[in-house]
């Protein structure tokens, strides 16, 4: 894909599954959650019901571990007809605490990329999720020193990006977004006239999936974050 990045002055990085591992821990927790409820339903049914409850609760709780835990508790109560034990509810809460306290695992090449780009570009973090949790992860990651600004958005839609760029006085023609989600990090960015680089993560939440007929091809797709240096470092 031949895309010109010569006018780029500001680069936005998604955080979860772009800078550090995130979705893997959600999938592992879902596996453990299904084991806790195996006396009430099949794993497939438990997974389906949990996802349905998460989608219903997004508007209330937003993205992140805390909303996920509340959705697990609600699902457990629903599937057990409110017969779930206090011990199991406690275990579900502990699953959430374990996710929040998990060490931050940077993805391959992250610090190398940031250290080389910070001298040429203004780097910012644009992520969504729980504010406290994302701030905690950034602090634990050891890479906050590379960023001029950090923004935790309630969602990543065109208006969210447009309003933020306007607030930060960033021209869309000078902005590049790098992230793992076509739905959140690429499509809305292209639609407002900025540029995007898609670096897929091996696991994608179903809510972030994009149908083929929704995909746009005028963006760069790379297999590894380090590959961005071939296009941006020179």
Q: What is the mean pLDDT of residues 14-19?
A: 93
- Interaxial angle between packed helices 65-79 and 86-101, expressed in degrees from 0 to 180 and rounded to the nearest 10: 160
Tell me the per-residue pLDDT of 152-173, one tens digit each, with 9 for 90 and over.
Answer: 988 889 999 999 999 999 999 9
Indicate if 108 and 31 belong to the same structural domain.
Answer: no
Q: Which of 50, 73, 101 delimits the end of a domain?
A: 101
Q: What is the mean pLDDT of residues 198-203?
A: 80
What pLDDT is stored for residue 116 in this prediction?
Answer: 95
Total domains, the chain: 2
What pLDDT is stored for residue 171 in this prediction?
Answer: 95
Tell me the per-residue pLDDT of 97-112, one tens digit each, with 9 for 90 and over.
Answer: 999 999 999 999 999 9
Q: How far apart, in whole angstroms, are the C-alpha atoms of residue 43 and residue 37? A: 8
Indicate if 97 and 111 belong to the same structural domain.
Answer: no
What pLDDT is stored for residue 208 in this prediction?
Answer: 44
In a domain, 4, yes or no: no
Q: Which of 101, 123, 143 delimits the end of a domain?
A: 101
What pLDDT is stored for residue 203 in this prediction?
Answer: 57
Q: What is the mean pLDDT of residues 176-193?
A: 92
195: helix, strand or coil = strand
Q: What is the mean pLDDT of residues 11-32?
A: 93
Boundaries of domain holding 176? 10-20+104-232
**In CATH, what number is assigned to the domain containing residue 138?**
3.40.50.1000
- Cβ-count burial of 206 within 10 angstroms (0-12 exposed, 13-18 middle, 19+ buried)? exposed
What pLDDT is stored for residue 206 in this prediction?
Answer: 46
The set of residues, in sequence order, having a beta carbon less than 8 Å from that of 33 and lying 6+ positions away, is 46, 50, 72, 75, 76, 92, 95
**In CATH, what number is assigned to the domain containing residue 60?**
1.10.150.240
Position 214 pLDDT exceeds 70: no
Indicate if 28 and 82 belong to the same structural domain.
Answer: yes
172: helix, strand or coil = helix
Contact assessment for residue 199 and residue 179, using Cβ atoms and an 8 Å cutoff = yes
In a domain, 152, yes or no: yes
Indicate if 127 and 38 belong to the same structural domain.
Answer: no
Q: Which of 77, 101, 125 delimits the end of a domain?
A: 101
What pLDDT is stored for residue 130 in this prediction?
Answer: 84
Q: How far apart, in whole angstroms, are the C-alpha atoms of residue 9 and residue 174? A: 5
Extract the tokens encoding 83: 């017969």
Tell me the per-residue pLDDT of 43-88, one tens digit each, with 9 for 90 and over.
Answer: 999 999 999 999 999 888 888 899 999 999 999 999 999 999 999 9
The pTM assigned to this predicted structure is: 0.85
On average, the pLDDT of the chain sits at 89
What pLDDT is stored for residue 197 in this prediction?
Answer: 94
Indicate if 192 and 223 belong to the same structural domain.
Answer: yes
Indicate if 94 and 111 belong to the same structural domain.
Answer: no
Position 192 pLDDT exceeds 90: yes
Indicate if 86 and 191 belong to the same structural domain.
Answer: no
């Amino acid at each position: 894909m031949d895309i010109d990045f010569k006018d780029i002055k500001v680069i936005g990085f998604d955080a979860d599954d772009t800078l550090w591992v995130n979705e893997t821990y959600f999938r592992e927790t879902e596996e453990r959650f299904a084991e806790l409820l195996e006396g009430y339903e099949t794993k497939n049914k438990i997974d389906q019901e949990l996802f349905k409850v998460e989608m219903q609760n997004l508007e209330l709780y937003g993205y992140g571990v805390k909303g996920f835990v509340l959705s697990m508790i609600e699902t457990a109560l629903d599937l057990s007809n409110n017969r779930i034990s206090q011990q199991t509810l406690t275990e579900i809460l502990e699953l959430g605490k374990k996710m929040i306290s998990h060490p931050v695992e940077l993805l391959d090449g992250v610090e190398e990329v940031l250290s080389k780009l910070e001298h040429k570009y203004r780097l910012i973090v644009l992520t969504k999720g729980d504010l406290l949790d994302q701030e905690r992860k950034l602090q634990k990651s050891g890479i906050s020193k590379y960023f001029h600004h950090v923004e935790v958005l309630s969602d990543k839609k065109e208006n969210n990006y447009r309003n933020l760029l306007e607030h930060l006085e960033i021209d869309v023609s000078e902005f590049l977004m790098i992230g793992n989600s076509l739905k959140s990090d690429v499509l809305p960015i292209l639609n407002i006239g900025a540029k995007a680089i898609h670096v897929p993560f091996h696991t994608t939440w179903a809510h972030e999936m994009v149908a083929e007929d929704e995909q746009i091809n005028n963006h760069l797709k790379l297999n590894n974050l380090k590959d961005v240096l071939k296009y941006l470092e020179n």
